[in-house]
Amino acid sequence: MKSSIFVPLFVAALAGTAQATSFIASDAFGRAAQVDFQVSGSQLVITLTNISNTDVLVPIDVLTGVYWSMSGSGTLSRDSALLAPGSTVIYNSQPAGGVVGGEWAYNAGLSHHGATFGISSSGLGLFGPGDRFPGPDLQPPTNPNGLEYGIVSAGDNSATGNGGITGSGGLIKNSVVFTLGGFTNYNINSIANVGFQYGTNVSEPYVETPTPGSLAALGILGVASLRRRR
């Protein structure tokens, strides 16, 4: 459940093109994330990054999922989940070939803060063993569960953090690239209701990007404010 304490302090959706679109959101507690969607042939390539400069000290600071809605039809295949270039695993060994698919899952037909598609490293009652991307199980259990292989911030100090962080069994710093196949009958420009889940429970922080309507309202308010200042 969302709590008003986690309403985003600053959120912005970056302008999209016909083949790519990006979304950024942050909150008053230093959490900040970015997701980039890009079409490559019949595949949708999704790069999820924890862009916060804040040190990760407790599990609710760990980025564990991204959610969105979009128009289209067809079943999307779970093709791959790989560490982004320059990203590493802390508190565990580096996975062969950067493959982290065994720790992440994709599912559709969801109802999560208005989003119907999602990718997550934690089960949350929404993802099961059959939803995982290809790859070995890097940290038991085999189903998406717990905090392991969530994404810590760009500013994280791996020497700090409580036991839930240092004993997580492995976390990623700072980005993962997911590839979904069968995107031919979907429209990337329809992506909306984008939000970022933190921690391991749906009651924990969920930071949303604004709807186009709210962005327009913010723009109008900004223009009005400038006019008043003049």
SS3 22: strand
Mean pLDDT in residue range 22-41: 97
Residue predicted with more confidence, 37 or 3: 37
pLDDT value for 143: 84
Token pair in block for residue 20: 């790519």
Over residues 48-76, the pLDDT tens digits come to 999 999 999 999 999 999 999 999 999 99
Task: Report yes or no on whether pTM surpasses 0.75.
Answer: yes
Residue predicted with more confidence, 142 or 115: 115
Over residues 151-162, the pLDDT tens digits come to 999 999 999 999
Gap between the Cα atoms of 156 and 1, Å rounded: 26
Q: Which region among 4-8, 189-193, 200-204, 223-227 has the lowest average model confidence (pLDDT)?
A: 223-227
Q: Which of 46, 45, 48 lies closest to 34 in space, CA to CA?
A: 48
Over residues 186-195, the pLDDT tens digits come to 999 999 999 9
pLDDT at 13 over 50: no
Gap between the Cα atoms of 96 and 137, Å rounded: 12
pLDDT at 144 over 70: yes
Gap between the Cα atoms of 215 and 13, Å rounded: 8
pLDDT at 230 over 50: no
pLDDT at 117 over 80: yes
H helix intervals, the chain = 163-166, 212-229
Over residues 184-218, the pLDDT tens digits come to 999 999 999 999 999 999 999 999 997 543 333 33
Element (H, E) at 212: helix 212-229
pLDDT value for 141: 85
